[in-house]
Amino acid sequence: MTPRFVAAILRSSWLWLLTRLLVTFMYWYAAIGFIIDFSGAQAAMGMSGMQPAWLIAGLTIAVQLIGSALIILDRATWLGAGMLGVFTLLTIPLVHHFWNMTGLEAMQAMLESEEHVTVVGGLIAVSILSTVRNETLLEGSRRAP
């Protein structure tokens, strides 16, 4: 049984907003960094073998910002989470290909891949919660006189 004060906190609008900000933090923060240092973003894409680097860097920024905004604004959260989830999973074979590495480099890439899978789980959870919260709010407004 969840204590009432804990349940009240968990249902609060401020915690729901904070959750969406935290779940998307690594995306919008990275996008801002890429915007500030676009040449560095292009270099990172080029080092991973992705060409044209300027286009891949631009698309990366767009996906990270649009996906994050949809989640933060709680509008089409499923779409924003889907965008970020697919993006995150694609980084595993494109950037963190631990099966082609050895030693510490392979271990680091594998750990980052595992973290990416966990983040995708969090994005799915936020999508589920957004849907449930919005359906509950809609249902409550239908009952109101």
122, 81 in Cβ contact below 8 A? no
* Greater pLDDT, 135 or 55: 55
Burial class (CB in 10 A: 0-12, 13-18, 19+), 47: exposed
The structure tokens listed for 69 are 């905004």
pLDDT digits (tens, 9 = 90+) for 86-98: 999 999 999 888 9
pLDDT digits (tens, 9 = 90+) for 13-67: 999 999 999 999 999 999 999 999 999 999 999 998 999 999 999 999 999 999 9
Show me where the domains of the chain are located: 15-143
Query: Does position 145 have pLDDT exceeding 70, yes or no?
Result: no
